[in-house]
Structure 1
Amino acid sequence: MSISNPIVNLVVFVLLVALLFFLFRPVKGWVWIIRNSIKTNQKIITEDILKQMYTLETMGESIFKEELMNGLKYRNGVLEDVMDAMAVSGLIALEGKEMSLLPMGREYAIKIVRVHRLWEKYLAEKTGFDKTEWHPRAEKMEHQLSYEETNVLATKLGNPIYDPHGDPIPSHLGEVTDIDGKHLVDLEADTVGKIVHIEDEPAVIYHQILAENIHIGSHIRVVENNEKRVVFYSEGEEFILAPEVARNLTIEVFTEDVYIEEDAVRLSALKSGESAEILGISKECRGESRRRLLDLGFVKGASIHIGLESPLRNPKAYIVKGSAIALRDDQAAKVLIKRK
């Protein structure tokens, strides 16, 4: 007959207690962490579905279940389960191949859109992140704020109405301002107006627009519009876009009595030996960058000329109010001038 070793039994008992502690410890135990992780993932997936449905709804498009699932980054089986749960809870309606937002789901979606666009505004105004990073970072951060924290963020930003792309930011009551304008691709030649919205999806088209150095708030004049290309003139430069890219720009069309500064150009176009008068700073320049330029003397009415060029002509030293200020071409492109 074998006799149990008391020390071995004690060690086994201690290990068992420790294992149970790590598994079921409140809040920090593995079981709690896994359970909360599952709940968190379901919440994120639900919010991603609602936001995508709201986007399609505001564009006036029908919402097809299969297309929606293909556009999201989750497995179809997971999406099916979450959608069924959303239908049971009264957020969405499932009718065959089509889906629609119910009032409670639309209200929830607007809250998520509000958080996303406030975060983009924060990233644009308060951080140094490149504009290509605003949208993906906001997509991660939009799931983290409560209703009260969202209102605090809005107050900190001055309760803005639009995000950096020109999209309306819903109010805390869920009110959404309309974008007043027409797609660039729909405008006739000689139409004049102002860029009020740049769509940031799909990302491949948005990056093309950024590569062209097109700024929100810029005045434009359409030169040519046909099935092959859209040509417009803005701030001393000519831009040529494919129609599918031009569709992502929304223009506030000016009436005949609105004056456009036809000879306004970007500071980056100024050449050695030329002098100019500063007309202002583009809305594309935000936050600390804008305040820095203003503090350095880049204010309306100030005279400016090139004092020194680097061997590659980028950056250049501009003389403004008696001081030499070095700017790269992408920085100078955000300062509007009028040649003397």
Structure 2
Amino acid sequence: MNTYNPINTLILFFIIVGVLFVLFRPIKGWFWIIKNNFKSNEKVVIEDILKQLYHFENSGNKVDTKTLVQVLKFNNNQIIEVIKKMTINNLIYFDSDVLKLTETGRDYAVRIVRVHRLWERYLADKTGFKREEWHDRAELMEHKLNHEEVEKLSAHLGNPKFDPHGDPIPTKTGKMAKVNGVELPLLPVNTIGRITHIEDEPEIIYKQILAENIHIGSLIRVIENNTTRIVFQSEGEEFKLAPIVAANLTVAPFEKETVIEDNIARLSSLKVEETAKIIGISKESRGESRRRLLDLGFVKGADIKIDLMNPLGEPNAYLIKGTSIALRKDQAAKILIKKD
């Protein structure tokens, strides 16, 4: 026959209270952590949907739910549920099968784009991260910064108008500067212009452009343009791109006839027996990296030649102002020279 034991009951009571405390205590309880994490994930999904719709609409493309599910990296059911909530909250609406932004949704999307592009500019100007990393790192930060932090970041960067790819950065009121130029495949042969924008999506095409070492701000001359390839010269080198890749480059053609000097090249092309003068540093070199090159003496007018060739390919040592300085090929490619 069981007898009532008040000590066991008391122990059981404290165990239950302890478990409930761990689960439901304010802020740090498991229940609230899981709930807040779900809200955070939901916020990310909402903002990524808004941003995707913004880019689709700006490029003149229509998108339905099926397409959106394919381009977003979330659970399909979660995307569908979030779309329902966004419709109820007047962020998006359906026009037949096409998803569109409401005015409120578009304003929200522009704020997300502003954070993303400011953070890419920060990564380019203030850190040593490679440009292949900027987009993904900015994707993470665009969901974390609050309004006050965004404005501090913008002020810290000098309220820039463009991100490092040449995309306009929306102001806090949503206004954007105009990108000058047209897609490279639209330019006729012998056109001379400057690269003003490099589109970083889709990623597979952007990586091809990175592999070609094409720089924003570079002067180019179109020497071939047909349905199979686009060929252009820039900074002493010749580039050949498929039209689908070339379409990610925006070029502002010069209205007046311009001559590109043949002996202007990248330092990376200098040969052992050649000498040259530095004429500048590419806009592709930014922030600390640019300041370091200038501090090392890579300034306009300085004489330069190869001091030592690395048998393994890189880095090579360059003699400048009596000092031998080693540079990787990608660093040397951002320094423009005029060969003697």
Alignment partner of 2:49: what SS?
A: helix
Tell me, yes or no, if structure 1 residue 225 matches structure 2 residue 225.
yes
**Matching residue of 1:85:** 85
CA deviation after TM superposition for structure 1 residue 73, in Å: 1.2
Q: Tell me which moved more, 192-201 or 54-63.
A: 54-63
| AA matched with 1:26 | P
SS at match of 1:63: coil
Residue 121 of structure 1 corresponds to 121
Query: Which residue pairs with 1:156 in the alignment?
Result: 156
TM-score by length of 1: 0.97
Secondary structure of residue in 2 paired with 1:231? strand
Residue by residue over 1:142-181, the C-alpha shift from the partner in whole angstroms, topping out at 9 and shown as x without a partner, is 0001111100011111111111111111011111112111
| Letter of the 2:76 counterpart | N
Aligned AA for 1:120? E
| Offset from partner CA, 1:26-80 (integer Å, 9 cap, x none) | 0011111121112111111110000000011111222322212211112222112
Note the 1:104-143 alignment, pairs <5 A.
104-143=104-143
> Contact 1:66 / 1:97 at 8 angstroms: preserved in 2?
no
- Tell me which amino acid in the other structure corresponds to 2:320: V
Structural mapping, 1:32-111, within 5 Å = 32-111=32-111
Aligned to 1:268: 268
* 1:197-245 C-alpha deviation (Å, 9 max, x unpaired): 1111111111111001111111100010111111000010110011110
Provide the rounded CA distance (Å) in 2 between the counterparts of 1:317 and 1:274: 14
Residues matched between the structures, number: 340
Contact 1:305 1:319 in 2 (8 A): yes
More deviation, 122-131/139-148: 122-131
Q: Which residue of 2 aligns with 1:317?
A: 317
SS of corresponding position for 1:314: coil
Could you tell me which residue of structure 1 aligns to residue 203 of structure 2? Answer: 203
Q: Residue 134 of structure 1: CA displacement?
A: 0.7
Unaligned stretches of 5+ residues in structure 1: none
Give secondary structure in 2 for the equivalent of 1:306: strand
Q: Quote how far apart the aligned CAs of 1:109 are.
A: 0.2
* Alignment check: 8 A CA contact 2:315 2:328 kept: yes
**One-letter amino acid matched to 1:320:** I
AA in 1 matched with 2:168: P
Separation in 2, partners of 1:69, 1:312: 47
Give the RMSD, CA atoms, in angstroms: 1.2
Q: In the TM superposition, what is the alpha-carbon distance from 1:259 to its structure 2 partner?
A: 4.7
Structure 1 partner of 2:12: 12
Q: Return the offset for 1:257.
A: 4.2
Instruction: Report if the CA contact (8 A) 2:236-2:263 is conserved.
Output: yes
Query: Distance between the aligned counterparts of 2:22 and 2:215, measured in 1?
Result: 54
Q: Is the 8 A contact 2:192 2:258 kept in 1?
A: no
Deviation, structure 1 residue 288: 1.2
CA distance in 2 between counterparts of 1:16 and 1:242 reads 67
* 1:20 CA drift (Å): 0.6
- Counterpart of 2:21 in structure 1 is 21
Q: Distance in 1 between matches of 2:267 and 2:327?
A: 10
The within-5 A match list for 1:295-306 is 295-306=295-306
CA contact (8 A) 1:187 1:222 kept: yes
Aligned partners of 2:178 and 2:86: how far apart in 1? Answer: 28
Q: 78-87 or 49-58, which moves further after superposition?
A: 78-87
CA positional deviation for 1:5:
2.7
Which amino acid in the other structure matches residue 229 of structure 1? R
4+ residue runs over 6 A deviation: none
Q: Which residue matches 1:278? A: 278
